[in-house]
Structure 1
Amino acid sequence: MSASGLACVGESKGSPLRDLVDGRIVVRGRGKVWHNSVRDGLRGDLDAAATEPYKVVGVQCVRGDEQNTATPDVTVFDPRELDFFEAAWVPVGKVALVVEVVSPVSRHTGYAP
């Protein structure tokens, strides 16, 4: 399996999330209850506000290129021309908005300034 494939592999329950940043695997911890509550609230609000053709997903891999993938907390994207049932990631060109909830874990792994 390539490193870019590894970064988008579905995680099993309890395993850490992994992203590929500049060709390096970055492991980050699981979100706390507060973090997940904020993420889910934002996702619900964005989903309610989304207009066609946009879709809203949580914790979905976004791929910039072979060296860079990320798994933001929420992603708003245009699903047109994507194989919705087979896509392992959202191409960055299809992304309208990504949300990363800033928490001590995300600050530690470089997701926030």
Structure 2
Amino acid sequence: MLNVARKRAPRSPGTSTTSRPGPQPPLRHRPHGGNIPLFTPEGTQQALVSSAAGHLASQGALIAGFSLNRGYTAEDYDTHYTAAGLTLAERYATWDREPFTGGDYAVSVHRVALAHYPLTNR
């Protein structure tokens, strides 16, 4: 996933694997290893999702794909992201953006919730 991102946007900070000391700038888009919540201890997924969401810029998106037949459902995932301040923007059946109509795999795009944006500059 990162190799494709590096080819498409080589200067994007989200495609670097090097660590820089000090605070990191928020990321506009962040690929999230979808299998990570599947294999973390039950009850820790919310903290994991909240931590990943905390690295997003104000209009950022977290993108992850994973199998839905391992005890962690798309509904669980959406609930955790909603609690972290993100909303489901898109869901696909594949990384090639085939429409999601159910099945055992999903690629989800969650964005920072619009409710977090001020409606005016007052």
TM value normalised by structure 1 = 0.24
Instruction: Choose 1 or 2 for highest CA Rg.
Output: 2
TM value normalised by structure 2 = 0.23
